Amino acid sequence: MTTPMQTCPECEDEVRISQAARLNEIVECAGCRNELEVVALNPTVLALAPEVEEDWGE
């Protein structure tokens, strides 16, 4: 069985991916707090998710 661990492209910390992870799922790196997007499966490939401004000016 392959371990569902991937390396963060930003800080190279290990990121745990759920075995039920789906394409485009967002996971947060515990090391750098960046959001990582699952861009490919089998093998799983992570990429930095584009930053989303959550300030809607409310």
Please report, as ranges, the residues that interact with Zn ion according to CB under 5 A. 8, 10-11, 13, 29, 31-32
Least spacing, CB of residue 41 vs Zn ion, in Å: 20
**Closer residue to Zn ion (CB): 16 or 23:** 16
**Closer residue to Zn ion (CB): 1 or 25:** 25
* 3-state class percentages of the chain: helix first, strand second, coil last, to nearest 5: 0, 35, 65
Least spacing, CB of residue 15 vs Zn ion, in Å: 7
Is the CB of residue 51 less than 8 Å from the CB of residue 36? Answer: no
Which alpha helices (DSSP H) does the chain contain, by range?
A: none
